[in-house]
Amino acid sequence: MLVGHEEYCDYHTIQEAVDALERQPDNRTDTLYILSGVYEELVRIYRSKLVIRGIGHVEITMNRFARGLDENGEEWGTFATPTLFLGGSELLVENITVSNTSGQGPKVGQALAVYAHCDQTVFRNCTFRGHQDTLFTGPLPPATKEGLPFAGIPLREKHEVCRQLYQYCYIEGTVDFIFGGAEARFEHCEIHSLLHHSGGPGFITAASTPEGQEQGYVFKDCYLSAEAGVRNVYLGRPWRAYARTDFVDCLLGPHIHPSGWDHWDNPENKRTVCYREYGSRGAVDAGKHRVDWAAYKETTADAPY
């Protein structure tokens, strides 16, 4: 199936094509080709067994944000804001740029580019642009920190684990811009920190790894870069107590805070998180300054990957 702005395309919007595919039998793998262009739309995909392949520069963009108001005058909230939502399994997404152009600041709040509530999914050569909460990797925790159910996009399929692989991707943001409970591996990705609107610190990850899950986030051979003037960016802080995040053989820019990690104003998290670095390069004498409740190894000899 072909999407594009040309007259000969099957559909001219991505969502129309997705809706048509979701009416087809889901026991086979279908491929959705998207021709170059900018597609200003919210895309919701529940279909499994799907390949989404961009040709040329393909960008999906929208500007919904958490503090924005819906038709009832209620705030959208974080998990109703993604430009692209994926809810199925056995997916391959290639050569797609997804942007949330809402910007940042107290009047915006969180604004997702991608809500990846998907299992057995590969993202390859993709770009995700945003500020706070750019990429959410499901599943959600059982409840909010206040004990309430999460609102947002309805979930049709429950995944006990969301297994995801990101290869040769570019992901940018300011605060917690890669977050969630997935078992996710990032290979040869550029992780780019932007200036925070208030000049405050940045945070790359905010994992919510479920207790007992063997893996959370693994960054292997990734490149941590930053916009000019960015400083004091932490590798991660725990959205939930059992957060797991590993950096293996990654190149770190000088924007990374010497401490490396933050416990999110809760010292109890020090006992339960699993934060590890193996063979980090680029940051001078990083091991001498890292917090003592995270593991730091100069080589990858002990890395379990």
Active-site annotation, residues: 176
The torsion defined by the Cα of 154, 47, 162 and 113, in degrees rounded to 10, comes to: -70
Looking only at the bridges linking them, the beta strands covering 274-278 and 190-193 are unpaired
Peptide bond before residue 154 is cis, with ω within 30 degrees of 0: no
**AA identity, residue 101:** T
Q: 12 near 35, Cβ under 8 Å? A: no
Sheet containing strand 127-129, edge to edge, reads 37-40, 58-62, 97-100, 127-129, 170-173, 190-193, 223-226, 251-252
